[in-house]
Amino acid sequence: MQRIAICACHTIKAMVKYLLSSLIVTLLVLVSCEKDENTIPDGEDYGCIQRVYVKAKDHTISGADVAIVDNLFSKNKIDYSIFRYYEFRHDTIQDSYPPYTKRDRKWVRVDQYSRDLRIFNAERVFAFYNDTLPEPDFYQRTLGPYTPQLDTTPNLSLPRVRRLFAYNLDRHLPLDSNSVRINYSDTCFSAEFGFYKEIVDKHETIKFHKAWRVFKKNSKNDRPVGYYDDETGKQIAFSQ
């Protein structure tokens, strides 16, 4: 019995030692990943990159639909000069309860702008029923406080912006579909300067950054795309 107890004790010690070693390795990996995620590369990249300008008036819906949406916002006393329309739908819905009233619905998705610069991550959807926007005062109240009080002059150079995005492409998308390493040195990038709206805590506190939105030129749906703080060069977001 004593020999069995001694063996069991050694087994438990070995298991504890193994678990502690595994935990230490895991923590080291996590710390390394976090450090790598926050790394801001030095230098500039003088490869191909062009600045693109997407203005509030550059709507992607038809001219006829733009006129309809302008009229909807005007009737509901909403300043639409700060919106770029990029999706519009028009249909009829019916209540699921008596008397089963049918209502006309017009639905528009917009980007929000400040001083003709796009606010990234700040799209909005407006649904008008019988040409009326429910709670228009609420929409008016929520527009003003969420506009950035920042200047409109870029700090980072285009070669610096290219360096940041190329670094993230090498990290996140190093291989093509054939597992061959991708050389991004000859790839041309597009960069749009604007503001980035970031939710920083559980209370939905908003912080604005002057920021760059960068993607491969002529890529489908502008993917992959990276967003970078114009003051520090830190990556704010990256989507594939």
pTM of the model: 0.78
**Contact status, residue 179 vs residue 206, Cβ threshold 8 Å:** no
Please report which helix (H) or strand (E) contains residue 136, including its range: helix 136-143
DSSP state of 180: P
pLDDT tens string, the chain, 240 residues long: the values are 544 444 444 444 544 454 444 444 333 333 333 445 678 999 999 999 999 999 999 999 999 999 999 999 999 999 999 999 999 999 999 988 999 999 999 999 999 999 999 999 989 999 999 999 987 666 666 665 567 889 999 999 999 999 999 999 999 998 888 888 999 999 999 999 999 998 888 877 888 999 999 999 999 889 999 999 999 999 999 998
**Contact status, residue 146 vs residue 206, Cβ threshold 8 Å:** yes
Sequence length of the chain is 240
* Strand spans (E) along 2-82: 49-51
